[in-house]
Amino acid sequence: MSKSSYTPEFRAKIAQEYLNGNCSRKDLSKKYNIPESTIRDWINVYKTHGINAFINTNENKQYTKDFKIQCVEAVLKGESSVLDVVSQYQISSSHMLREWISLYNANRELKDYIPKREVYMADARRKTTIEERKEIVDYCINHNRDYKGTASIYNVSYSQVYSWVKKYDVQGDDGLTDRRGRHKTDEEVNELERLRRENIRLKRQLQEKDMLNELLKKVQELERM
């Protein structure tokens, strides 16, 4: 299978243009000289999986015989539409699924497709320090934003590099800080969240007050005895 000439970020850009309401599929097809059906597929999977829908493409994913049959039968039995199956299982295009259906209907064998591993694979992800992320972003930007090449050199995933560079573009070094698990202060959350937190604090205070009153009662009872 030939590799797509369109980069993941380009396909994401096209899909986002449509979702932002900037252009219709027909306008995008004319603007970029790409078949409208292809753009429709990109938009459909992008809505569900984001840019990862284009990172995990057919040259990087494996399609087993059983998987192909499962997808084909889901369509033929009326359980899902072609577009729904393509979106759910991140198949590279509706055209590919329709080819499987044609082969299946013609009693032709559907064979396994298992490609070589690449940096696009999700399990290439690894934990990094902020210093590493800064170095990786700096290298990527200074090498024409070669996300795949950078991921290969630093042994991280394509999606990690892409995400870090995009965050750096918007927030600078602050965008590279790993905020997972960090509890936001009251000043960093919206009004609704602040009210929710205040409600929890008041309930906790009332519970503590009730516990204290119970304790005082028990002490008084012991003193009377």
In the chain, domain spans: 8-105, 122-176, 193-224
pLDDT (average), residues 15-38 = 88
The predicted pLDDT at position 121 comes to 47
Which band of pLDDT confidence, cut at 50, 70 and 90, is reported for residue 28? Answer: very high
Give residue-wise pLDDT tens across range 114-142: 654 444 444 456 678 888 888 889 888 88
Digit-coded pLDDT (tens) for 193-206 = 677 777 777 776 77
Instruction: Give the whole-angstrom CA distance, residue 224 versus residue 144.
Output: 83
Can you read off the two tokens belonging to residue 170? Answer: 């918007």
For residue range 135-168, what is the model confidence (pLDDT) as tens digits? 889 888 888 888 877 877 777 888 888 889 888 8
Q: Which band of pLDDT confidence, cut at 50, 70 and 90, is reported for residue 72?
A: very high
pTM over 0.85: no
